[in-house]
Chains A and B, each alone.
Chain A
Amino acid sequence: MRSRKSRWLTFALALSLTWIAVGCDHGISTGSTTDSGGPAGLAPEPSVSFQNLDGQTVNLAEYRGKVVLVNFWATWCEPCKAEIPELIQFQKEYGNKGFTVLGVAMDQEGKSVVAPFVAKPQFDVDGQKVSMDYPIVLGTQQTATKFGGIIGLPTSYVISKNGKVVQKVIGMIDPQGINQLIRKLLS
């Protein structure tokens, strides 16, 4: 007859192995593992497509071969807007080196609200007012689901050249940390 202690040990071991297997990734991610492209790997990017502001379909897989920072945001989200200048800087510095920001706008009103916001030169970058100059697509609840669910905005995912999600950040990004990560992934 099995003892109560051995039953609890079995339960605890089963729970631990299951948690690892399912790969729960909720919560703020800091200091996440950087993808070295090795066999251990990280979560693959989701298979997802979006509509851009011109009404064209954009597949995330089209960016394979580039480092991508997928940034979920909305025009009504103040912390989202606060980090946009940093994202514009990243695009400016690394855009011709195999990197891109992909802004996923979660406004329920869609293009009618997002397009004029994106086009307006309102962000202070290097002493000038500029507009959002990186690719913007429209997000839906379905696209959020494909990323494992979005708790709040902003939420960002850094994806390596070979399509692995190497970091997830809920809330504003740490510009220095993300800058280092981008450099490492591009090198």
Chain B
Amino acid sequence: MKRFWIMAGAMAAVLALAQAAGAQMSQGMARTVVAARGYVSLEPVPRGRTFEVAVIARIKPLFHINAHKVLDEFLIPTEVNAKTPAGFRITSTEYPAGELKQFSFSPKKLAVYTGQMIVKMKVEAGRNAPLGARELPLSLRYQACNNTYCLSPVTVPLSVHLTVARAGSAAKAVHPEIFHR
């Protein structure tokens, strides 16, 4: 009998802790809805060359995130941003068009992304870009919903790694399945 009450007490403590942790679940859950990864189009990247960076976001089934061009001023658009280190410059960012979808909770269609979406950026490595291994920090901001409820907007950090070589160096195109579609 003593063992029973010790076991019950221990379980109560564990469940109480789990319930407290549940308070943070909304943002935590929002982060699990999208898996994002970055890719670079050239290896290495010679100084003075323009290359591409792609962010591929895979969205969990039954969830959607708003498109970059939203149809309502209060909706949170999906956005990719880069903290370009010295010697690099983003020259353009291309977002896919959203899919117009009707949901049970809204009389109007919403522009959303489901499944997988790819954002591509053109990046210029300047003539004085630091040589060697470099990291380009990125962030993906999104707000996800399913047919029942919406999760908090979140900003998820990610990064791509590249190698900067001297101007005129040979460079190999990589990830053709992403960049040469």
A-to-B contact residues, CB < 8 Å: 10-11, 13-15, 17-19, 21-22, 24, 26, 28, 74-82, 106, 108, 113, 117, 141, 144-145, 148-155, 170-172
Contacts and interface: CB of A to CB of B under 8 A. Distances in A.
A76 B11 contact: no
Nearest to B20: A145
Interface residues of B, number: 34
A10 B7 contact: yes
Interface string B122-162: 00000000000000000000010100111111000000000
10 contacts: A10-B3, A14-B11, A76-B76, A77-B150, A78-B72, A78-B106, A79-B149, A145-B23, A149-B22, A155-B149
B8 A14 contact: yes
Contacts, number: 98
A41 to B, nearest CB: 19
A151 B29 contact: yes
B149 A152 contact: yes
Contact of B105 (A19, A79, A144, A148): A79
A30 B41 CA distance: 51
A168 to B, nearest CB: 13
A79 B11 contact: no
